[in-house]
A and B are shown apart, each in its own frame.
Chain A
Amino acid sequence: DAMVIQNPRYQVTQFGKPVTLSCSQTLNHNVMYWYQQKSSQAPKLLFHYYDKDFNNEADTPDNFQSRRPNTSFCFLDIRSPGLGDAAMYLCATSRDTGRVTQYFGPGTRLLVL
């Protein structure tokens, strides 16, 4: 019954070593989002895809990239992780944009050593 799936749930990487986080969905939603959530804070939107159209938030660092090869999958690439990038990364989907509900995955907790 899982609708938004994130793998892995926990990821450990080294300072400066590229890492990729994965998200898949079974809802056939048009929109997929990536959020970063640091401890005791609200989630912060990094970017989203509407179908194949990529929308980057103005304050998202260049170190963060994303790919959406098809409707079901979306990846978050961190090119050179720094200690400050340690966080929970949340994937979400919605049928459309605007006043719609977003459905979140369980998250991937990233640790940078």
Chain B
Amino acid sequence: GDSVTQMEGPVTLSEEAFLTINCTYTATGYPSLFWYVQYPGEGLQLLLKATKADDKGSNKGFEATYRKETTSFHLEKGSVQVSDSAVYFCALSDGNTDKLIFGTGTRLQVFP
């Protein structure tokens, strides 16, 4: 079945450091790919998405490119802020089921 694998956290960075959170997926067909962010005590917010190969999703300085050849959708940001501290979930949806398939989440901690 479909699955999403994320790098384990926590990821600990200093402010203004470069961020990469790795995400790879297994799916039949051509899924849509998402990054959601969850701040402490809150629900999930859609951060960015991509619906086909080579699409780049971007929002608030975060970027991720849909790489079909490597089945990856890595999240990057050039300069993180303390306010980016949260849990980040990679997810996919395909046309075969009605559900989002989530990775296990990666906690990001940014220190001043």
Interfacial residues, chain A to chain B (CB-CB below 8 A): 4, 6, 31, 40-43, 45, 48, 50, 55, 57, 88, 90, 92, 97-107, 109
User: In the complex, A102 Cα to B47 Cα: how many Å?
Assistant: 12
Question: Could you tell me if B105 and A42 are in contact, using CB atoms closer than 8 angstroms?
Answer: yes
A47 to chain B minimum Cβ distance, whole angstroms, is 10
Q: Tell yes or no: B81 within 8 A of A by CB.
A: no
Contacts of A100 in B (CB 8 A): 32, 93
Question: Could you tell me if A98 and B94 are in contact, using CB atoms closer than 8 angstroms?
Answer: yes
Question: Could you tell me if A101 and B43 are in contact, using CB atoms closer than 8 angstroms?
Answer: no
Question: Could you tell me if B94 and A109 are in contact, using CB atoms closer than 8 angstroms?
Answer: no
User: In the complex, A103 Cα to B49 Cα: how many Å?
Assistant: 12
Contacts A42-B102, A48-B98; A99 near B93 (Cβ below 8 A): yes
Please tell me which one of the listed residues B46, B89, B95, B98 contacts residue A103 in the complex, with CB atoms under 8 A apart: B46
Contacts A31-B98, A98-B93, A104-B43; A42 near B32 (Cβ below 8 A): no
Cβ contacts A to B, 17 pairs, < 8 Å: A4-B43, A6-B43, A42-B89, A43-B102, A48-B99, A55-B98, A88-B43, A90-B43, A98-B98, A99-B30, A100-B32, A101-B32, A101-B34, A101-B49, A102-B93, A106-B42, A109-B41
Top 8 closest pairs, chain A to chain B, by CB: A42-B102, A99-B32, A107-B43, A104-B44, A97-B98, A106-B43, A104-B43, A98-B95
Please tell me which one of the listed residues B42, B49, B99 contacts residue A107 in the complex, with CB atoms under 8 A apart: B42
Interfacial residues, chain B to chain A (CB-CB below 8 A): 30-32, 34, 36, 41-46, 49, 51, 89, 93-95, 98-100, 102-105
User: In the complex, A76 Cα to B16 Cα: how many Å?
Assistant: 42
Contacts of A57 in B (CB 8 A): 99
- Closest residue of chain B to A96, judged by CB? B98
- Closest residue of chain A to B52, judged by CB? A99
User: In the complex, A105 Cα to B42 Cα: how many Å?
Assistant: 9
User: In the complex, A90 Cα to B91 Cα: how many Å?
Assistant: 16
Contacts of B36 in A (CB 8 A): 104
Contacts of A107 in B (CB 8 A): 42-43
- Closest residue of chain B to A100, judged by CB? B93
Contacts of B99 in A (CB 8 A): 45, 48, 57
